[in-house]
Structure 1
Amino acid sequence: MPVRSENSEPQYFMNPETCAVIVTYNPNSTSFRDVVASLYRQVDTIAVVDNASQNLSEIEAVIQDFSFELIRLSENKGIAYAQNAGINYGISQGTKYILLMDQDTVLPEGTVGALRDECITLENQGVKVGAIGCAYRDTHDDKISVIWKANGFKLEKQNVDTNAKQLVAADCVIASGSLIPVATLSEVGLMDEGLFIDLVDVEWGLRAKAHGYQSYQSFKKIMSHTLGSGRLNLLGRVVTVHSPIRNYYTIRNSLILARRRYICPAWRLYLVLHIFPYLIVFGLVASQKWPRINFMMRGLADGLLARGGPYRA
């Protein structure tokens, strides 16, 4: 099993077409094994980047069975840093495409090939491809993912007929299950490590769009994905629930992104205006109200001051 630290050189060189990057942080070992097993015959190589998990030995046991690269980070440096570490490993191996994956996303057989074929078709047509994301079925409510697109000053949520199996343009796609050409990354840049977690994929998608690259969501295959830690039903609407500290990152990063020049008006308005109902819902209705309120107040302060990086107590 090739294993290296975040600063060491890879122990071997290969020339893969597609490198999958899986970021782990205290994963359920059974679910993680399912993720790796779903990828094993679909990609040329896998880089598992671990954000200082407490159950690292369980992760190593899974990787030993499949003989993939494990990059150990000395501390939790956030999903963007970990993704970049895996992307850089893939680039060092000469890969053409990067597949970003979460530790709990299971891909159906043939997904990566379908995404890559769609990407190549678009590239041959002269399209500047950002990311091509796989549509997902949320394990909490069994619903299929939607498309988010700016229309003037309005951000629209679009449901798609999954039976049509079409490729649909989107402003951004979730990171997990998304295929990105290395050539695109060289032009657009890597993930924004200052965001740490939350809205990292949104930021990259909107940055790519500002550079003239179009992202898409594919419906040829539907993957299973767990979004958040639960659901909250409120006045007929379903709200995704994360841990309290994620409320900090969501509010802080929304304010940080809203002031960036390449963020279009519809997204800028959404990022700012959704903070107010967000504060109400998670401050009054969700569990662990006081920790959430404290985190959200810090998020407001740090966001207004444009303080990025990990949360500091």
Structure 2
Amino acid sequence: MSERSAVLAGIVVYHPDEAHLARLVAAVAPDVREVAVYANSPVDPALAERLVRAAGDTPVAILDQPGNHGLGEAYNALAARAEAEGDAFLFLLDQDSLPATGAVPALAGIFRQLAASGERPALVGAQPVAADGAALPLAAAPAGAGAPARRARFAYSSGSLVACAALETVGPFRADFFIDAIDVEWGMRAAARGFSVWVAPGVPMAHDLGRGIIRMPFGLTLTDQPPRRLYTFIRNQLAMLRLAHVPPGHKAKTLALMPARLAIYLIHNRFSREVRRAIGRGLADGLRHRLGPPDRAFPPTPAAPPGGR
């Protein structure tokens, strides 16, 4: 089996920019067995045909779903497709990303190198970068001289080459999180079950994060999220405090930083009614462990649909 024939590229979309999505398909198609697009919003025949043309001789499957099921359920459906076809890897992508040429074989090569050195990698992720080329922040250890990857607690789901064998042991992604912290929770669960997570600094991937970055003193940053995403971020971070496999240090950091984060979001958004509502509902549902789709607590609006990662 060739390296290409062992990888399924899975892209999750929700009202995507069609031109960017076509570029994304064209970028990854030469290096994978199939491109599967999990559609959380309708994909019309014209767009489907455009994606088929962009993929060249690589098959494209459109997994069209009624309604928006979120990222966790989408990842699980893509994983099931990869496993059913006997793929070794699932390469996860959001519609807001664009990996460098050759990212898939580069990540697969690093995966094999890590495994050969005695590591037990669950995934190797590309290094997400902003529009200006600056690396987006990740909690990863410094890479040693000549090392191809850095050990991390988690990698962004988009740009992650996930081993299907690891999925069988670690288990599915949290569909009830819907969006936000799905990759964080899965990475920590993988570590608790004897696996490791890695980020490859030499494999860049352009990625749009939320509405941009809120820059603070001392070089600190926060992702500027719309209210609906802010709700799921708060809710899911609090829900993770209940999980035994989440390290105590992460829980302590969450509790210590949450008040400051919420204050910054309030100030940045001038105490808007929508942000105050997102924070209130997120705190209440997180403490009650009320998860699932956010529509009940925070209905979507046409002006602010849920985004990618």
Q: What's 2:193 paired with? A: 211
The Cα offsets for residues 218-274 of structure 1, whole Å up to 9 and x where unpaired, read as 122212111111233344643321211111001100110011111111111122222
* Gap change, CA 1:287 and 1:103, over 3 Å in 2: farther
Relative to the length of structure 2, the TM-score reads 0.87
Q: Does 1:248 align with 2:231?
A: yes
* Gap change, CA 1:146 and 1:282, over 3 Å in 2: closer
Q: Which runs of 5+ in 1 are unaligned?
A: 1-14, 150-157
SS of the aligned residue for 1:106 comes to strand
Q: Which runs of 5+ in 2 are unaligned?
A: 298-309
The Cα offsets for residues 139-175 of structure 1, whole Å up to 9 and x where unpaired, read as 2x532134415xxxxxxxx5669x9563111111111
User: Partner amino acid for 2:15?
Assistant: N
Please give the alpha-carbon distance, in whole angstroms, between the structure 1 residues aligned to 2:153 and 2:222. 21
Specify which of 85, 92, 112 is matched with residue 77 of structure 2.
Answer: 85
Relative to the length of structure 1, the TM-score reads 0.86
* Gap change, CA 1:306 and 1:170, over 3 Å in 2: same
Paired residues for 1:194-273 under 5 Å: 194-235=176-217, 237-273=220-256
Q: What's 1:60 paired with? A: 48
More strand by proportion, 1 or 2? 1
Alignment check: 8 A CA contact 1:229 1:242 kept: yes
Q: What's 2:117 paired with? A: 125
Please give the alpha-carbon distance, in whole angstroms, between the structure 1 residues aligned to 2:250 and 2:46. 40
Alignment check: 8 A CA contact 1:49 1:71 kept: yes
Deviation at 1:92, TM superposition (A): 1.2
Please give the alpha-carbon distance, in whole angstroms, between the structure 2 residues aligned to 1:289 and 1:305. 24
* Gap change, CA 1:279 and 1:165, over 3 Å in 2: same
Q: Does 1:171 align with 2:153?
A: yes
Please give the alpha-carbon distance, in whole angstroms, between the structure 1 residues aligned to 2:172 and 2:66. 21
Alignment identity in percent?
27
Specify which of 94, 110, 126 is matched with residue 86 of structure 2.
Answer: 94
The Cα offsets for residues 43-91 of structure 1, whole Å up to 9 and x where unpaired, read as 11111101124x6455423323234011011110111111111111111
The Cα offsets for residues 184-241 of structure 1, whole Å up to 9 and x where unpaired, read as 0000011110100000000000000000101111122212111111233344643321
Paired residues for 1:274-289 under 5 Å: 274-286=257-269, 289=272
Deviation at 1:35, TM superposition (A): 0.8
Deviation at 1:16, TM superposition (A): 3.2
